[in-house]
Amino acid sequence: MKVVIVHPAHMDYREELFERLNKKYDTTFIFTKQGRGQENVVEEQARISPKWKSKVLKSDVIIYQKDIGMYLALIKELLFGEYDILITSTSWYICWIAAKARRKKFVFMTEFWRWQDISIIRKTLNKFTKIIIKNSDSIFAMGTNAYQSCLQLGAKKDKVFMHNQCAIDYSGLPKFDLKNKYKLKEKKIVLFLGRIVRIKGLDYLIRSFSLLEKDNEQIFMIVAGDGPERIRYEKLAKEQGIKNIIFTGRVSKKDIASYYNACDVFVLPSIFDKQYYEPWGLVINEAMAFGKPIIATNAVGASADLIKNNYNGYVVEEKNVKELYKSMKRILSDDEKMRKMGANSRNIFEEKNNYTTFFETLSRSIEYTMGKH
């Protein structure tokens, strides 16, 4: 059986899944955004294994920030390449049409779950997505929200296979003393780590932290990451009169363990912004591997699968400054609660962040597709 999988860029958190896929099937990997970061933010992408059959589609024909040359190359690959089954997590409009034209089997691999008709174009695309979901041979839904969304859009239950997203466990990597580096030995640390872009909701976290700092000056916030909104948020922190905050800039993978290890609570305050949101949020998995309490909003896909309120953290309403503030205060003002929540996070991580069952679920989706006909 020849399988082709179309995916944006190869990242370390896909390494094990793709390696298993390559061993079981005759697989060709097509990467459409290798070398390009999301929203023009630098990403530390993974090296593509030379043992894999793979192609990177990339051109300099850019129109309205879209790589038109890449799309043309993708169409050519899908219309003339040799494969029995096409799996895609990106460019699904092109992929589905090509698969149908070639009478090939199609697996929709998705983490998306919110489809907003904010314009005529978006409404049309969402209708097209609904057609694809209803007419895919099978669907690999990564997360409860994605699973439920597919069912709501008309997919038959027996063809939707669900597993939560998995991430790398960085807790065993070497660590340096981050608290000593920033002279924070007596401080409790709130950590945000990720791209500094609008949908991350960092402005709401900054406003809630300003309330928290008024209660307790022994609390410190580290903003680790970079992006186009960084200058605006640094200015906001000054306007809020926050003293205990630092923007570190981009953190490399070799240092990431030191940041997770040093924090007392991890927060991902993402928001809904038109059609944009946080389909999953792998930093949640990563922080839980270090045994940390987690706070995330309902705009974060991972919150439905990995966070249990008052057990290993809290899920708060997006853009709700007061609720975010109260959740951080509850955790940071009770050392025993903080310790128990952290231990519970690690337990959930060990139970659900399982690459073996992750691959087995994808494999069942593939086998269902081939056996169905």
Q: What DSSP element (H or E) covers 221?
A: strand 219-224
Question: Quick one: pLDDT at residue 372?
Answer: 52
Structural class in CATH, domain 2-166+354-372: alpha beta
Question: Quick one: pLDDT at residue 62?
Answer: 81
Q: In what order do the strands lie in the sheet with 85-88?
A: 53-56, 26-31, 2-7, 85-88, 105-110, 138-141, 160-162
CATH number of this structure's domain 178-352, picked from the four choices 3.40.50.10090, 3.40.50.1370, 3.40.50.2000, 3.40.50.300: 3.40.50.2000
Asked if 12 contacts 46 with a C-beta cutoff of 8 angstroms, the reply is yes
For the chain, give every domain's residue range.
2-166+354-372, 178-352
370: number of Cβ within 10 Å: 14
pLDDT digits (tens, 9 = 90+) for 31-79: 999 977 665 566 789 999 999 999 999 888 888 778 899 999 999 999 9
Asked if 295 contacts 267 with a C-beta cutoff of 8 angstroms, the reply is yes
What is the dihedral angle through the alpha carbons of 178, 211, 337, 184, rounded to the nearest 10 degrees?
20
Where helices occur in the chain by DSSP H, the ranges are 15-24, 68-80, 92-102, 120-135, 144-152, 178-181, 202-215, 230-239, 256-262, 282-289, 303-306, 321-332, 335-352, 355-372
- Average pLDDT by consecutive 10-residue portion of the chain (373 residues)? 96 97 97 77 85 93 84 96 97 97 98 95 95 98 98 97 98 95 94 97 98 95 96 97 96 95 98 95 98 98 98 98 98 97 98 98 96 61
Where helices occur in 192-334 by DSSP H, the ranges are 202-215, 230-239, 256-262, 282-289, 303-306, 321-332
What residues have CB less than 8 Å from 222, skipping those under 6 apart?
182, 189, 190, 191, 192, 245, 246, 248, 259, 262, 263
Question: Quick one: pLDDT at residue 373?
Answer: 44
| Cα–Cα distance for residue pair 23/147, rounded to 1 Å | 27
22: number of Cβ within 10 Å: 19
| Cα–Cα distance for residue pair 247/362, rounded to 1 Å | 39
Question: Quick one: pLDDT at residue 42?
Answer: 63
56: number of Cβ within 10 Å: 16
pLDDT digits (tens, 9 = 90+) for 122-163: 999 999 999 999 999 999 999 999 999 999 999 999 999 999
**Structure tokens that stand for 141 in this block:** 């839904």
What residues have CB less than 8 Å from 279, skipping those under 6 apart?
111, 112, 113, 143, 146, 301
What residues have CB less than 8 Å from 24, skipping those under 6 apart?
363
Question: Quick one: pLDDT at residue 371?
Answer: 86
| Cα–Cα distance for residue pair 192/190, rounded to 1 Å | 7
